[in-house]
Copies of this chain bind each other. A is one copy, B any other.
Amino acid sequence: MHLTQSLKRALQLNPQGVATISGERQHTWTEFYQRIRCAAAGLLALGLEKKDRVAILSLNSDRYFELVYALPWAGLISVPLNIRLAPAEIIFLLNDSGAKVLCVDETFSAMLSEFKGKLDTVETIVYMGDNEFDGAVSYEDLLSKSETIEDTGAGGDEVAGIFYTGGTTGLPKGVMLTHDNLVANGLNAVHGFGFTKHSRYLHAAPMFHAADAAANIGLTMLGGTHVFVPKFEPELVLDTFVKSEVTNVMLVPTMVNMLVNTHDIDTYDLSVLVRICYGGSPMPEAVLLKAKALIPHVEFTQAYGMTELSPIITILDDEYHVTDGPKAGKIRSAGQVVLSGEIRVVNENDEELPRGQIGEVVARGPTVMKGYWNREVETAQALANGWMHTGDAGYMDEDGFVFIADRVKDMIISGGENVYSVEVENAVQKHPAVSACAVIGIPNDEWGEEVLAIVVPNEGESATDAHIISFCKEHIAGYKCPRGVVFVDALPTSGAGKILKNKLRDPYWEGRERNVN
């Protein structure tokens, strides 16, 4: 299968239909097709060869989406970068992926000066803004000065993109997703999200993330319309819903919560909005009830997955978003396996467990990644016995609904963003005053959870919480840094010497339920 097939289908079925709406800019599928064929030619003319990597560091826009198609058309591999990372982290990813080109928008062009002299492989900067940028090739120039080229024919199990995930063991890993992976996910998404050729999808969650990308191929196959906002802001999203007649959107529950708490939400005409998909965590009952009261016609669908699964592996349909009746209780699950996938819960020997018993969730099928970029050992571990090991603990009920007990055992979900505790611990631990530390998630009314570091200081050393937090900000992205630091004499450990994070968490969660999906 070929990622570009979806575009050819859109062009064939709906040539005059609207492909993209980004602010005041709008393109038909015919125009979009023309633009991406010029972009592909322009990129290759920079001296790139098939399978070279092209990184993207940008807020959401139609130009970002053009690259999603221009790169596979040219046989190049996309590397979408997490926009929340610190410059040092971005530099690591650019070097790790061996990217030859970095495409950057107005917002992130400010970061370029910090990269100087530190990039091992990047030869060209492409500037995606409207004007010129010193030392960079203008994206619009690249297009207007290029003739179109034909599809280079990349497809099948060739890598289409490398999507970096924060690794639980410290360094981020590049997840290699193939054309087959992404198209198979697209087919599952069309079914699971109920897209039609009339769908107008708002890209509101960051486009670097596989969760937003999940909608790319499927909606394009149908010749639907992609609408973009630079980033999630409740009023902007509500305005765009109305202005661009948006039918579908993908959000995290935190964003849904922000939307339904927008004070004048009832002044927006949301009658054409059909469905809100959400992922990252289950829908809190209170948020669902509030949303159902405000926008009762809108359907909710949960998608659960991970980048390594391209990314969707289970779907919870709207009909299970109820709090009474025979379907009640399913809302706390992550749903049932996607159309072409397989999922099961296994013990430590990879043997399937009986229904109801908690074990590790593993998955198989056409959306399982090819592997981690240049990480053979981690790839072999993750894909042991032919199944993707999610690292998530959960169980399955008699109807095939998967309940996640602990998303990754100790992962913290703050504002819909995954924070891997080990990564934070590694940063904290670099501080000379720190002897040992454990990082946990504690309740936060706005963000779901916030990051807390529990620190055992070195004898004779002392440091304030402010010191440690600002020290962390030099090493990792702000959203990953602890909001607070607690100093203790010792950490509770198991007989085998493993830190018992549950014991640390429990006092903070007393009387409330942690959203551990």
Given the complex, which residues of B lie within 8 Å of A515, measured CB to CB? none
- Whether the Cβ atoms of A13 and B187 lie closer than 8 Å is no
Structural contact, B365 and A1, CB atoms closer than 8 A: yes
In the complex, chain B residues whose CB is within 8 Å of the CB of A183:
340
- Residues in B with CB closer than 8 Å to A221 are 339-340
- Contact status of A1 and B340, CB under 8 A, knowing A13-B399, A398-B15: yes
* Mask of A178-194 contacts with B, CB within 8 angstroms, 1/0: 00000110010011000
Give the size of the chain A interface in residues (CB under 8 angstroms): 28
In the complex the two chains form, is B342's CB within 8 Å of A9's CB?
A: yes
Judge whether A8 is part of the interface by a CB distance below 8 angstroms: yes
Taking a contact as CB atoms under 8 Å apart, the answer to whether A187 and B339 are in contact is yes
Q: Decide: A339 near B190, CB < 8 A? Known: A5-B365, A365-B1, A365-B5.
A: yes
Q: Are A5 and B399 in contact (CB under 8 A)?
A: no
A13 touches B340 (CB 8 A): no
State the CA gap A400–B11 with chains docked (Å). Answer: 9
* Residues of B with C-beta under 8 A to A342: 5, 8-9
Q: Does A1 contact B399, Cβ atoms closer than 8 Å?
A: no
Residues of B within 8 A of A398 (CB): 15
**Interface residues in A395-420 (C-beta closer than 8 Å to B):** 396, 398-400
A165 beta carbon closer than 8 Å to chain B = no
Residue of B nearest to A338 (CB): B9
Tell me the A148-192 residues at the B interface (CB within 8 Å): 183-184, 187, 190-191
| A256 vs B263: C-alpha distance when bound (angstroms) | 57
> Does A478 interact with chain B (Cβ within 8 Å)?
no
**Is A12 an interface position by the 8 A CB rule?**
yes
| Interface assignment of A98: CB less than 8 Å from any CB of chain B | no
- A337-B400 in contact given A187-B187, A365-B1 (Cβ < 8 Å): no
Q: Which residues of B contact A340 (CB under 8 A)?
A: 1, 5, 183, 187, 221
Residues of chain A in range 13-40 having any CB-CB distance to chain B below 8 Å: 13-15
The verdict on A336 contacting B13 (CB below 8 Å), with A1-B366, A5-B342, A366-B1 known, is yes
Q: How far is the CB of A333 from chain B (nearest CB, A)?
A: 13
Q: Please, which residues of chain B bring their CB within 8 A of the CB of A222?
A: 339
Asked whether, in the complex, the Cβ of A13 is within 8 Å of the Cβ of B365, the reply is: no
A-side interface mostly:
mixed
Using Cβ atoms and an 8 Å threshold, which residues of chain B touch A15?
398
- Determine the chain B residues whose CB is within 8 A of the CB of A339 once the complex forms: 9, 187, 190, 221-222
For the complex, give the distance between the alpha carbons of A12 and B366 in Å: 18
A184 to B13: give the CA distance in the assembly, Å.
20
Most buried by B among A9, A13, A183, A341: A9
Q: List the B side residues contacting A400 at CB < 8 Å.
A: 9, 12-14
Chain B residues lying within 8 Å of A343, measured Cβ to Cβ, are 12
Complex alpha-carbon distance, A367 and B337, angstroms: 23
Determine the distance from Cα of A186 to Cα of B187 in the docked complex, in whole angstroms: 11
Contacts of A341 in B (CB 8 A): 5, 9
In whole angstroms, how far apart are the Cα atoms of A398 and B396 in the complex? 48
Interface residues of A in 336-370 (CB under 8 A from B): 336-337, 339-343, 365-366
Contact mask for chain A residues 373-406; partner B; CB cutoff 8 A; 1 contact, 0 none: 0000000000000000000000010111000000
Determine how close the nearest CB of chain B comes to the CB of A352; give it in whole angstroms.
Answer: 11
Considering only residues 216-234 of chain A, those with a C-beta below 8 Å from chain B are 221-222
Q: How far is the CB of A468 from chain B (nearest CB, A)?
A: 47
Look across to chain B and name the residue whose beta carbon is closest to the beta carbon of A16. B398
Determine how close the nearest CB of chain B comes to the CB of A424; give it in whole angstroms: 37
Interface string of A307-341 (1 = CB under 8 A from B): 00000000000000000000000000000110111
Q: How far is the CA of A271 from the CA of B335 in the complex (A)?
A: 31
**Closest residue of chain B to A9, judged by CB?**
B337
- A12 contacts B190, CB within 8 Å? no
Q: How far is the CA of A343 from the CA of B9 in the complex (A)?
A: 9
Closest to A188 in B: B187
Question: In the complex, A187 Cα to B366 Cα: how many Å?
Answer: 12
Complex Cα spacing A400 to B1, Å: 20
Bound Cα distance A397, B511 (Å):
64
Q: A1-B366, A14-B399 are in contact. List 9 more A-B contacts (CB 8 A).
A: A1-B184, A5-B342, A5-B365, A9-B341, A13-B336, A13-B399, A187-B187, A190-B191, A191-B191
- 3 smallest CB-CB distances across A and B, nearest first, come from A12-B400, A13-B400, A187-B187
23 examples of A-B residue contacts, CB within 8 angstroms:
A1-B184, A1-B340, A1-B365, A1-B366, A5-B340, A9-B339, A9-B342, A12-B336, A12-B337, A12-B400, A13-B336, A13-B399, A13-B400, A14-B399, A14-B400, A15-B398, A183-B340, A187-B191, A187-B340, A190-B339, A191-B191, A221-B339, A221-B340
